[in-house]
Copies of this chain bind each other. A is one copy, B any other.
Amino acid sequence: MHRYDELWAGLGLDLDAHDRLLKALPPTYYEVYLKQENRPRGMEYFDFVINEIHGLRIKELQEFRQAGGKVVGTFCLYVPEELILAAGGVFVGLCAGIEVGTARAETVLPRNICPLIKSFMGFKLSRICPYFESCDLLVGETTCDGKKKAFEVLADFAPVYVVEVPQKKGPRDWELWLGEIRALAARLEELTGKKITPETLRAAIVKVNAKRRALKRLAALRKADPPPISGRDALLIYQIAFYDDVDRFTAQVNALCDELEERVRRGEGVVPPGTPRLVITGTPMAIPNWKVPYIAETSGAVIVAEELCTGLRYYEELTDESGETTDELLASIAARHLEFDCACFTPNLKRIQKIGLLANEYRAKGVISYILSFCDPYAVEHYQVEKGLRDRNLPVLKVETDYSEHDAGQLRTRIEAFIEMLTGGANTRTE
């Protein structure tokens, strides 16, 4: 990776701590990504993006800010990218997928809390996430207790605005959520000093829908046997979707899809035909949290779909582009969100149906139910996942883990046993 010391110092990063972080990543990336055989050529762009994720992209954001632009950071699909773009801003995800700054994070957070939350607080308090330091506003949400309350702490260290995501999906929730989206639009206009018009909003929706369409195209190609791309690489692309410039990213995903279509036509894939196929579902995976997909794909399986926020939920639903007024378009944005099967809703049984349909459509033999430690929404909802998939005769492996590597050996043993069980044709619950 190139060095951008001046840029990083200008953002107030702790350069020594940041250097240690940067040194930790390349060996992991080599092991998880670059060692893969028969990778699509089109992945080169995404490798480049990761290599420059604390460099060139941050430089772009700084240039944008120097020209008066505003950068808005978030963690969640409930903060609509279209709105930020329509107000003339840029949307970025925030650092959260690795154990970092834990000692500092634990001065303000309880020890037993979701690693994603501890990670983002560690990044912020240790000043090693250039995205955090490039943001003019952080937009949080109320999708889980841990984040909801941690944003209150974060507000002592950065400007934070919180949108309230409802917990059911009835008419009252619709009113609440539409109101929250309208209020967020006003807040973003205030931030950027630019009015959201029907034109800017429709253009933003069309732009982001194009990204979603490209990702849907990518997903559909993974139905082939053998799949033309690994699950790890697909996950990486979904993760990068939160950071990269929208149009450039869309073009690169489409270019990759052109290549993958060729591969599918030739029957070429990243694994031998007949390799056991898995769906993964549960808690979202932030960069560089690739642990479980990596283990699964180096244990004889291939992941063909992700029922995750860093997966299907990100691109499945499009926003209706047909509204005439700003308010109609805001309603279309709000309506899209209430289609998501996030575990923050009660009940959330459509999610279980979705996993079943997905497994069927992608010809998966089994499902990994992935739960980040202390993530109550997905951990408790696992009961429904297991029950619902048992009714569909679909084996499920529950994997509860954090960002450390301590359990990697044990996870590998369990995942290998699960895959073996699948290929042996047995059909029982493994836990």
Chain A residues close to B by CB (< 8 Å): 108-110, 112-113, 142, 144-146, 148-153, 162, 164, 166-168, 172-173, 175-176, 179-180, 343-344, 346-348, 371, 373-374, 376-377, 379-384, 400
Contacts and interface: CB of A to CB of B under 8 A. Distances in A.
B173 A164 contact: yes
Contact of A376 (B113, B164, B384): B113
B164 A164 contact: no
B149 A380 contact: yes
A109 B377 contact: no
Given A113-B376, A145-B376, 19 more contacts: A112-B379, A142-B167, A142-B168, A145-B145, A145-B344, A145-B377, A145-B380, A146-B380, A149-B343, A149-B376, A149-B377, A151-B346, A153-B384, A162-B168, A164-B172, A164-B173, A172-B180, A173-B176, A176-B176
Given A109-B383, A113-B380, A148 B167 contact: yes
Nearest to A378: B149
Given A112-B373, A149-B376, A346-B152, A168 B164 contact: yes
Contact of A175 (B149, B153, B176, B377): B176
A159 B374 CA distance: 27
A-B pairs, top 3 by smallest CB distance, nearest first, are A149-B380, A110-B379, A145-B376
A227 B180 CA distance: 48
14 contacts: A110-B376, A110-B400, A113-B380, A149-B343, A149-B376, A149-B380, A152-B347, A152-B348, A152-B380, A152-B384, A164-B168, A172-B180, A175-B176, A176-B176
A148 B113 contact: no
A320 to B, nearest CB: 23
B374 A153 contact: no
Contacts of A150: 380
A319 B142 CA distance: 28
Q: Which of A145, A146, A346 has the most CB of B within 10 A?
A: A145
Contacts of A373: 112
Given A172-B180, A176-B173, A112 B149 contact: no
Contacts of A179: 172
Scoring A153, A172, A371 by chain B CB atoms within 10 A of each residue's CB, the highest score goes to A172
A327 B404 CA distance: 54
A153 B346 contact: no
A167 B164 contact: yes
Contact of A176 (B166, B379, B380, B382): B166
A243 B151 CA distance: 37
A373 B145 CA distance: 14
Most buried by B among A142, A344, A346, A382: A346
A148 B346 contact: yes
Nearest to A179: B172
A154 to B, nearest CB: 10
Nearest to A111: B400
Contacts of A142: 167-168, 346
A325 to B, nearest CB: 21
Contacts of A382: 110
Contacts of A175: 172, 175-176
Nearest to A379: B110
Contacts of A112: 112, 373-374, 379
A125 to B, nearest CB: 12
A385 B382 CA distance: 33
A380 B109 contact: yes
A383 B108 contact: yes
Contacts of A347: 152
A162 B373 CA distance: 26
Contact of A380 (B153, B343, B377, B383): B153
A376 B116 CA distance: 14
A314 B379 CA distance: 31
Contacts of A371: 110
